């Protein structure tokens, strides 16, 4: 039988009613992920975006989720307090149908990595700077197959390298390593 391991599931609870639209979360996320760290900030590079309607005082923070190579076959439209939002406004995917959650220069997908770094932070940066307490960080323990833990660790490791050195450099290095392995 496959061995079980304990995995920490990281959760950020979003209380949209408390969000005041200050966008500090967007600024700190882009600065934290800049290379070198904090060397620049640009909300277009943030892995959290605040969908807003200032006249109705509606702000909804949305986190960047998975990349998808194909857009959905259908569309959703949301109406909240009488305001109709853009199609896909609250979707977390980095998807070919829109520019949201894409690195503006390269077009590469952006995904929230919960600010994984070494040594680990006490809480993600966006949570730390949210003075309105709209973002609350929690951790939960779950039992999973050992292989799943290894895959998660591998993915986070690769993402950290891509953030640090850039995806192009990382891909070049992996290709070079693969070629020298074959020789
Ligand atoms: S920092 Fe908090 S209050 Fe400000 S926009 Fe982000 S979620 Fe909303
Ligand atoms: S948890 Fe970190 S990576 Fe994710 S949106 Fe917040 S600041 Fe960005």
- Residue 2's pLDDT is 64
- Ligand 2 in reach of 126 Cβ (< 6 A): yes
Mean pLDDT of 75-84: 87
- Ligand 2 in reach of 102 Cβ (< 6 A): no
Closest CA to 163 of 27, 64, 30, 49: 30
| CA-to-CA separations, 169 to 111, 172, 176, in angstroms, rounded | 19, 5, 11
Phi, psi of 36 (to 5 degrees): -65, 160
The full length of the chain comes to 183
Indicate which atom in ligand 2 lies nearest the CA of residue 127.
Answer: 6
- Residue 100's pLDDT is 94
Whether the per-residue pLDDT at 55 is higher than 80: the answer is yes
In this prediction the pTM is 0.80
CB 42 within 8 A of CB 154: no
- Ligand 2 in reach of 115 Cβ (< 6 A): yes
Atom 8 in ligand 1: residue holding the nearest Cα: 19
Distance 20 CA to ligand 1 centre (A): 6
């Amino acid at each position: 039988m496959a061995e079980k391991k304990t995995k920490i599931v990281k959760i950020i609870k979003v209380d949209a009613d408390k969000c005041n639209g200050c966008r500090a979360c967007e600024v700190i996320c882009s600065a934290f992920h800049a290379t070198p760290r904090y060397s620049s900030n640009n909300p277009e590079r943030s892995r959290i975006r605040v969908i807003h309607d200032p006249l109705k005082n509606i702000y909804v923070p949305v986190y960047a989720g998975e990349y998808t190579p194909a857009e959905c076959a259908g569309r959703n439209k949301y109406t909240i307090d009488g305001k109709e939002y853009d199609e896909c406004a609250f979707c977390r995917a980095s998807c070919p149908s829109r520019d949201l959650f894409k690195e503006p220069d390269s077009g590469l997908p952006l995904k929230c990595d919960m600010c994984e770094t070494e040594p680990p932070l006490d809480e993600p940066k966006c949570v730390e700077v949210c003075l309105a307490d709209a973002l609350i960080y929690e951790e939960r323990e779950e039992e999973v197959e050992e292989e799943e833990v290894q895959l998660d660790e591998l993915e986070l490791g690769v993402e950290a390298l891509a953030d640090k050195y850039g995806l192009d450099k990382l891909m070049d290095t992996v290709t070079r390593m693969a070629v020298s392995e074959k020789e």
